[in-house]
Structure 1
Amino acid sequence: MNTFNYTHILTKAVSELSDSKSYEGLFHQYKEGEPLPSGKSLSRIVELAREILFPGYFGNSTINSRTINYHIGVNVEELFELLVEQIQAGLCFGEENNPHKEEESPCRTSAANIAAQFISRLPELRKILATDVEAAYYGDPAATCFGEIICCYPIIRAVTNYRIAHELYILNVPLIPRIITEMAHSETGIDIHPGARIGHHFTIDHGTGVVIGATCIIGNNVKLYQGVTLGAKSFPLDENGNPIKGIPRHPILEDDVIVYSNATILGRITIGKGATIGGNIWVTESVPAGARIVQRRE
């Protein structure tokens, strides 16, 4: 029988892992009343928002016109309470990771104010999401009805998460918007940064592998196909050789642009109104309005 003593190996590993130098930048130190945002609670927030925005399609399927006010009221109340809790956690996290942190931690009142502002935007969110459903339906001859689009198409789940996250992003909530869009990324394979600006009637056919960067600006009636990347061409560096953050570095797609599968569009360039970008193309220069860019034939 093997009687080898592993204690000294485990003790050594614990000692090395507990060394402050080994976890620098990787350690979140708990403070009383300042928890990290909860993935479980944020998942519930997304579920509730989907139930409110698309009643009957998500959540309680027995809802009808006589009971809708009650169901939405209950959901909004739960959504508000969860948002306040999670936004407060996000604000605390943001302060901890802010090198210019003020002495006082964000208070629950600030979180409640942001949560109320977000909920006040839900009617407008529903209106723009209705245009996204229309775009997906009229852009796909295989679609049979709006209900199929809402129930089955990954773009609706991804763009719903994005539009929820974007509202929180513009309300300056740290961390939480990115978690919400990454939930959609895991669920659908569509990666949309919450900082991107996207107009109405937006759709992605199929969707898998699409990447939309943080400073992208996308106009109205834009359609993408699977595998499209709207990314950064390069990263300007500061005097220490580190990437400069917060500068516009992703493409602008004007109204009525179509980008076919696996096209890669990089840098702060403009794809003009009504332009078409063919599949499997690498684009690093601006494209004029109405242009049609395809692969050259040998």
Structure 2
Amino acid sequence: MFGDNLDRIVKGIEKNYEADEIFFTKPGRRFPNRSAIKSVLKDIRRVMFPGYFGAEMLSPSTSPEYFIGETLIQIERVLREQIILALTYTSDERDVNAGTSNYLCGGCTPESICERTSEICTVFFDELPNIQRVLLTDVQALYDGDPAAGSKEEVIFSYPGLYAIFVYRVAHVLYEQDVPIIPRIMTELAHSGTGIDIGAGAKIGEYFFIDHGTGVVIGETTEIGDHVKIYQGVTLGALSTRGGQRLAGVKRHPTIEDNVTIYSNASVLGGETIIGEGSVIAGSTFVTSSVPPHSRVSVKAQEITVRQPGEKD
């Protein structure tokens, strides 16, 4: 009976709480909060695309400067707290497993963590106007590339590809500042909501187009140029990750040059694989070596057999 075994079960689970991965029993140790990070993304999107995802700026009496300033102050307060938590967590992990972290906090004291957080926030907020500028090129690419798009407003309101790109562009700035945990939380929030998985470390140019999007995977060390189009089910991945943590920081995902189109369910794999400018990768192809510029990569034609009812094989 469950009641007879309860004490034994409780003691077994309590024993497992001694593992480093279980945080709630460790005084002073807290993870960043997913809900807070989600709210940061929501408010940044309101600033990037005012009037689309909130009631702001819908009245002539509303000042854009006031709305932008007040919202950024709110974002900075929440993001600062989450970055401090992330840096403190990683500082604690360095004490347990020295050398696993790649960020610098000047000795990892509370004072140095606060100082490093201020530096990160300065860089991040200075980059917001450029993030917005590049996002507008992505909106243009999606509108120009999809004949089903009724307007740019429709793209902004409803396209999952744009949302995933937006989250990536925000997370990438934090990733470049060696902020732990938070960039991954951001991109996984987008992944869970759109089915599009973009590593925060990927380098992606302007006018980026993801159509439909479900099942797209873009690995952490992928490099993508300008005016690139990607369709559903595309994987830009690694040839093998059996090396595990030994591959951290190693380029293991492909480079996609400008004006490349990759159709649905294609896989392009490997850190040394380069898809040359202007190339087209057909659907369901499996590419593990470089192709020169303006190439056309396709699967050899397969035989299709149609059997009518009553016909024998």
The TM-score, its normalising length taken from structure 1, stands at 0.91
What residue is the counterpart of 1:10 in the other structure? 6
What residue is the counterpart of 1:104 in the other structure? 109
What residue is the counterpart of 1:180 in the other structure? 186
Q: How does 1:122-141 map to 2 (within 5 A)?
A: 122-141=128-147
Once residues 72 and 296 of structure 1 are traced to their aligned partners in structure 2, the CA distance between those partners, rounded to angstroms, is: 54
Give percent identity, aligned residues only.
39
The TM-score, its normalising length taken from structure 2, stands at 0.87
Once residues 193 and 296 of structure 1 are traced to their aligned partners in structure 2, the CA distance between those partners, rounded to angstroms, is: 31
Once residues 183 and 297 of structure 1 are traced to their aligned partners in structure 2, the CA distance between those partners, rounded to angstroms, is: 39
SS at match of 1:126: helix
Once residues 301 and 127 of structure 2 are traced to their aligned partners in structure 1, the CA distance between those partners, rounded to angstroms, is: 49
Q: How does 1:54-73 map to 2 (within 5 A)?
A: 54-63=49-58, 67-73=63-69
SS at match of 1:262: coil
What residue is the counterpart of 2:283 in the other structure? 279
* Residue 84 (structure 2) aligned to one of 76, 85, 88: 88
* Residue 38 (structure 1) aligned to one of 33, 38, 50: 33
Change (3 A) 1:181 1:242: closer
Q: Is the 8 A contact 2:141 2:208 kept in 1?
A: yes
Q: Is the 8 A contact 2:57 2:64 kept in 1?
A: no
Superposition misfits of 4+ residues, deviation over 4 angstroms:
none
CA RMSD of aligned residues (A): 1.9
* Residue 15 (structure 2) aligned to one of 15, 19, 22: 19
Once residues 155 and 103 of structure 1 are traced to their aligned partners in structure 2, the CA distance between those partners, rounded to angstroms, is: 38
Unaligned runs of 5+ in 1: none
Change (3 A) 1:97 1:202: same
- Counterpart code for 1:73: G
Q: Return the offset for 1:62.
A: 4.4
* Residue 202 (structure 1) aligned to one of 191, 201, 208: 208
Once residues 132 and 284 of structure 2 are traced to their aligned partners in structure 1, the CA distance between those partners, rounded to angstroms, is: 34
Q: Which sits farther off after the overlay, 87-96 or 168-177?
A: 87-96
Q: Return the offset for 1:96.
A: 2.3
* Residue 161 (structure 1) aligned to one of 150, 156, 167: 167
Q: Is the 8 A contact 2:218 2:237 kept in 1?
A: yes
Once residues 153 and 26 of structure 2 are traced to their aligned partners in structure 1, the CA distance between those partners, rounded to angstroms, is: 45
Q: Return the offset for 1:108.
A: 2.5
- Counterpart code for 1:45: V
- Counterpart code for 2:157: C
Q: Is the 8 A contact 2:264 2:282 kept in 1?
A: yes
Once residues 182 and 164 of structure 1 are traced to their aligned partners in structure 2, the CA distance between those partners, rounded to angstroms, is: 13
SS at match of 1:194: coil
Unaligned runs of 5+ in 2: 100-106, 303-313
Q: Return the offset for 1:38.
A: 0.6
Q: Return the offset for 1:30.
A: 3.5
* Number of matched pairs: 289
Spell out, residue by residue over 1:254-291, the C-alpha distance to the aligned partner (whole angstroms, 9 max, x if none): 00010000001111100000000000111111111000
Q: Return the offset for 1:103.
A: 5.9
Q: Which sits farther off after the overlay, 112-121 or 173-182?
A: 112-121
Once residues 211 and 108 of structure 2 are traced to their aligned partners in structure 1, the CA distance between those partners, rounded to angstroms, is: 48
Spell out, residue by residue over 1:81-107, the C-alpha distance to the aligned partner (whole angstroms, 9 max, x if none): 011101101111222233337563453
SS at match of 2:249: coil
What residue is the counterpart of 1:218 in the other structure? 224
Change (3 A) 1:229 1:108: same
Once residues 156 and 180 of structure 1 are traced to their aligned partners in structure 2, the CA distance between those partners, rounded to angstroms, is: 14
Q: Return the offset for 1:236.
A: 6.1
- Counterpart code for 2:171: A
